[in-house]
């Protein structure tokens, strides 16, 4: 799955809101995959998280009985919200036993019998025993089951729950305005057991023969194509659909959907049938995702040199979906905002997000589904790899997006930010009890995982990387693997010590900072490079960490191509670069590919800064230098005033992604300074920074403009509006009035910035106007865009109304957390949102208990404070109200609060003086 959209990291909260302003849709980094936003894990949905303090005792299911095939028949009742089921499981009894232990949650088993192969007599259970804590059921038999093949038959029933996990119900509105329900599934990580008793572990693979009994007037989908349809005796309103047998696969990848849908379809170049299912009457909104999917399948076939192994693939939009998407084999489920694009009303950002999520989920059809991690410890392999290759795919399908530059801002820098905390974790974390899985569905697994794979791909080269991927997938298809299996295949293909290198990146927490200084010797530049662990709180005296760091070096004579590469496998080294003039600059990490920060000596940095201003440095390098300097300033190694001066060197910047990263860091400064006397001068500083590019872009697209220009305009207007640029506020107000009156429709790329700007500077009437727009909106993207803008209001009574509205019946549970998060875009909003979360905690905890949305809620409502007293307050609250699913997030938030407090105490005076002097000029 994608994570935003998968589960949670505590990265700069206000930066999340920056992303929302871009166009109302969630960027990758906000939802599940890192970056300047809320963490990336939200993109896909996952299991539950255990308390970090006390690991639950856990044993995996016994190996004495193993499934080989499930013949599963389910009949959902969309009125009573229940389902009945019958399964005949073909098993191999490896060792004679009188009990069978399986996973089962909220399932009532009526009967269970066993029949050995070549026997005609069923053996009924003597007792059926449930263990709620371990989510298991034990079937006791009066005598031992003989070794060999047999069939286990169970009849059962369960609930179509409203928890967005397992086999659940989702509410939608029909074209005639009626409330209806569909039945859908979300099984990753450990919720197949809510739909049928099974061996719900990724390594217990089997084939599945699915039969669904459903109303005749409903669409019913599963992983495979329908092979038989027949009437149900005595029930004219029902039909029985039998689907082809699946490949051997894990339980978490099984899926079924029953509801009302339209679809658009196409075939890829190999004839694979691709369908995108949409709400009734909205199939036009599926065309963009279809175009991407039809290009993507052949791309992956060519990259992996393995054809897509199923006859069809369906992509379907689900109205209620906790995550962003889920890679079920042959039936990929999505939030509506991650799949549907309205040609007239979707923003450029929304299109890009859909392309990335489609690329991510289809990559899993090979990497994750065909070859699956052996246990959740190796989850990062699935998610980190898919989070890397989705960019490779989008770069192929839509090169005009310049998506690899965006990767640096959305994934790479967010992972660096989180991984510098004491409360980070290694990429590869031992997982015992499945309750612990959600702790690692976060920015580290997704974005750091993607970043180190990008670094490895660059180090060994694309040709050897492809060979290694083919070796890996071919050797382990339909099987399960460990991280070391991938390293072995890539090492075999490249002849390089991949396992030795990568273990330093996956098994230890954090990353290095490379301190570099230079001396000129004739026509050569001699660099001294030293590595140490980078810590958000500043240099650590006790540092035993050491990485094997692929280092590349560029010069002003070769800005885009490395002139020297090396593997730094010791504490420090000396490197000589030939043919460098005294005034030339030398830079580490061209393309910002290596997962480390660089701390230059002052003379090296002085040579680089003019190349930022005249843009002779490539965009990824301009972005990387600024981001490293900002992190060094925040950790106390550099001066924050210096980073403000560096930011001013970007006044003529033209690249969207560079501005996006600057915006995320400005958001962090805004959070830091919003309660200080210098905040008005800081707002003037931001206005001055964005005015030049704002005047150049204007409000309306110009001939020849592209995708990135539209996204840049959105982010620039957002910031001019937020920080009080009067001309922007006036124009935004005028354009919203025209939009509401129908005089002139507001372009989709402008709606997020305009809504937020007008709400921030408006009154109760403005708020009511936006509520009216929300209620009239038909496109879910537009509803989400408005919902996430509502918190921009500035009056305390309106902020409180937004918070109360978040828990009303007008807001879907999947969106409530982000409405509350939107209210934290101001100092007063942060105070009120945190109080609201405390006051309504019981209700919120009950709603989101055991899911990653709870961690998002904690992150949004706590991580933006800057006072030590708030950190203690947050810790005390969660001591009294334990939230195991969010425990790591609580620790990360409190660490961020204390880092902010130290930063403010250290630099507030100098920042204030600089801004005051600057404002007086």
Radius of gyration of the chain (CA): 28
Q: Could you tell me the two tokens for 363?
A: 């990559």
Is residue 361 flagged as an active site residue? yes
Q: Which residues pair with 170 in a beta bridge?
A: 182
Q: Could you tell me the two tokens for 666?
A: 């400005």
Q: Could you tell me the two tokens for 119?
A: 């026997």
| Separation CA 759–CA 817 (nearest Å) | 19
The closest alpha carbon to 186, from 40, 44, 365, belongs to: 44
The closest alpha carbon to 294, from 396, 370, 366, belongs to: 396
Query: Could you say which DSSP state residue 410 is in?
Result: I
Q: Specify burial of residue 152 (Cβ count, 10 A radius: 0-12, 13-18, 19+).
A: buried
> Which residue among 361, 436, 515, 887 is the active-site one?
361
| Separation CA 636–CA 514 (nearest Å) | 16
Q: Which residues pair with 211 in a beta bridge?
A: 73, 242
Helix axes 619-634, 887-920, angle to 10 degrees: 100
The closest alpha carbon to 384, from 351, 332, 419, belongs to: 419
> Hey, what's the torsion of the CAs at 378, 380, 382, 383, to 10 degrees?
160
- Quote the Cα angle for 428-433-434, to 5°: 80
The closest alpha carbon to 732, from 748, 710, 711, 750, belongs to: 750
Ligand-binding annotation for 360, yes or no, is yes
**Block residue for tokens 């263990």:** 131
| Separation CA 885–CA 616 (nearest Å) | 47
Helix axes 748-761, 707-722, angle to 10 degrees: 0
Q: Which residues pair with 533 in a beta bridge?
A: 512
Q: Could you tell me the two tokens for 595?
A: 């997962």
Q: Where are the beta strands (DSSP E) in 206-359?
A: 207-215, 219-222, 226-232, 235-243, 256-259, 262-267, 273-278, 312-318, 325-326, 331-335
Ligand-binding annotation for 761, yes or no, is no
**Block residue for tokens 């580290």:** 444
CB atoms under 10 Å from CB of 370, counted, come to 23
Q: How many CA atoms lie within 13 A of 248 on its CB side?
A: 12
The closest alpha carbon to 382, from 41, 851, 886, belongs to: 41
In terms of DSSP bridges, do strands 586-588 and 549-555 run parallel, antiparallel, or are they unpaired? antiparallel
In terms of DSSP bridges, do strands 549-555 and 524-533 run parallel, antiparallel, or are they unpaired? unpaired
Ligand-binding annotation for 433, yes or no, is no
Binding-site residues for Zn(2+), please?
Answer: 360, 364, 383
| Active-site residue set | 361
């Amino acid at each position: 799955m994608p994570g935003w959209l998968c589960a949670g990291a505590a990265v700069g909260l206000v930066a999340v809101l920056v992303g929302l302003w871009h166009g109302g849709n969630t960027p990758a980094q906000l939802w599940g995959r890192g970056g300047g936003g809320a963490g990336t894990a939200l993109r896909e949905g996952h299991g539950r998280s255990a308390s970090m303090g006390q690991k639950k005792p856990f044993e995996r299911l016994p190996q004495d009985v193993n499934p080989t095939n499930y013949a599963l028949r389910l009949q959902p009742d969309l009125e009573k919200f229940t389902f009945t089921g019958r399964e005949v499981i073909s098993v191999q009894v490896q060792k004679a036993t009188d009990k069978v232990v399986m996973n089962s949650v909220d399932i009532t088993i009526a009967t269970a019998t066993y029949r050995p192969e070549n026997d005609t007599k069923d053996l009924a259970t003597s007792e059926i025993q449930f263990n709620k804590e371990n989510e298991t059921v034990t079937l006791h038999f009066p005598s031992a089951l003989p070794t060999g093949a047999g069939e286990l038959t169970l009849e059962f029933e369960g609930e179509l729950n409203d928890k967005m996990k397992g086999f659940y119900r989702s509410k939608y509105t029909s074209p005639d305005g009626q409330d209806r329900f569909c039945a859908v599934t979300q099984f990753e990580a450990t919720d197949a057991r809510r739909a049928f008793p099974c061996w719900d572990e990724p390594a217990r693979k089997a084939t599945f023969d699915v039969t669904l009994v459903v109303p005749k007037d409903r669409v019913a989908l599963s992983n495979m194509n329908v092979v038989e349809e027949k009437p149900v005796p005595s029930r004219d309103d029902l039909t029985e659909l039998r689907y082809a047998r699946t490949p051997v696969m894990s339980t978490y990848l099984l899926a079924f959907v029953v509801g009302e849908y339209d679809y658009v379809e196409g075939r890829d170049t190999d004839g694979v049938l691709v369908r995108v299912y949409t709400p009734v009457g909205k199939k036009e909104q599926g065309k963009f995702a279809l175009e991407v999917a039809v290009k993507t399948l052949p791309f992956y076939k060519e990259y992996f040199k393995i054809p897509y192994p199923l006859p069809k693939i369906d992509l379907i939009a689900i109205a209620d979906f906790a995550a962003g998407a889920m890679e079920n084999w042959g039936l990929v489920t999505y939030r509506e905002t991650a799949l549907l694009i309205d040609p007239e009303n979707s923003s450029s950002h929304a299109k890009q997000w859909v392309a990335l999520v489609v690329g991510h989920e289809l990559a899993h059809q090979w990497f994750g589904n065909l070859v699956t991690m052996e246990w959740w410890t190796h989850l990062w392999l699935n998610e980190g790899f898919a989070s890397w290759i989705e960019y490779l795919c989008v770069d192929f399908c839509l090169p005009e997006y310049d998506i690899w530059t965006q990767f640096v801002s959305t994934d790479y820098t967010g992972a660096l930010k989180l991984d510098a905390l004491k409360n980070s974790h290694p990429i590869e974390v031992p997982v015992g009890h499945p309750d612990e899985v959600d702790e690692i569905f976060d920015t580290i697994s997704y974005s750091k995982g993607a970043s180190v794979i990008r670094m490895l791909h660059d180090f060994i080269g694309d040709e050897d990387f492809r060979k290694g991927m083919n070796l890996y997938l071919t050797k382990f298809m339909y099987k399960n693997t460990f991280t070391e299996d991938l390293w072995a295949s890539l090492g075999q293909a490249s002849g390089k010590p991949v396992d030795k290198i990568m273990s330093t990146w996956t098994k230890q927490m954090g990353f290095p900072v490379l301190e570099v200084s230079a001396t000129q010797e004739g026509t050569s530049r001699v660099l001294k490079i030293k590595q140490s662990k980078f810590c958000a709180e500043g240099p650590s005296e006790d540092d035993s960490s050491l990485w094997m760091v692929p280092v590349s070096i560029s010069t002003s004579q070769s800005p885009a191509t490395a002139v020297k590469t090396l593997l730094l496998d010791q504490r420090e080294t000396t490197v000589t670069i030939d043919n460098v003039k005294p005034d030339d600059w030398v830079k580490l990490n061209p393309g910002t590919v290596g997962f480390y920060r660089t701390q230059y000596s002052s003379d090296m940095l002085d040579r680089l800064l003019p190349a930022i201003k005249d843009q002779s440095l490539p965009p990824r390098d301009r972005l990387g230098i600024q981001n490293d300097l900002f992190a060094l300033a925040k950790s106390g190694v550099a001066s924050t005033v210096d980073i403000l001066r560096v930011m001013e060197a970007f006044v003529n910047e033209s690249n969207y992604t560079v501005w996006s990263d600057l915006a995320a860091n400005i958001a962090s400064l805004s959070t830091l300074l919003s309660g200080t006397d210098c905040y008005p001068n800081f707002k003037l500083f931001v206005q001055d920074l964005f005015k030049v590019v704002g005047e150049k872009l204007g409000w309306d697209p110009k001939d020849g403009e592209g995708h990135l220009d539209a996204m840049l305009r959105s982010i620039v207007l957002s910031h001019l509006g937020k920080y009080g640029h009067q001309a922007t506020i006036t124009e935004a107000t005028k354009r919203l009035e025209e939009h509401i009156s129908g005089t002139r429709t507001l372009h989709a790329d402008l709606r997020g910035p305009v809504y937020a700007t007008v709400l921030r500077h408006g009154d109760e009437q403005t708020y009511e106007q936006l509520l009216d727009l929300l209620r009239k909106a038909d496109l879910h993207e537009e509803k989400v865009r408005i919902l996430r803008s509502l918190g921009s209001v500035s009056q305390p009574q309106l902020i409180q109304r937004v918070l109360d509205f978040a828990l009303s019946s007008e807001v879907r549970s999947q969106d409530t957390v982000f409405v509350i998060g939107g209210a934290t875009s101001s100092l007063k909003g942060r105070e009120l949102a945190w109080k609201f979360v405390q006051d309504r905690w019981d209700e919120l905890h009950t709603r989101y208990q055991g899911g990653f949305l709870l961690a998002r809620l904690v992150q949004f409502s706590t991580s933006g404070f800057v006072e030590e007293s708030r950190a203690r307050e947050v810790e005390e609250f969660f001591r009294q109200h334990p939230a195991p699913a969010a425990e790591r997030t609580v620790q990360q938030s409190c660490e961020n609060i204390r880092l902010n407090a130290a930063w403010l105490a250290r630099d507030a005076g100098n920042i204030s003086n600089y801004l005051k002097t600057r404002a007086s000029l």
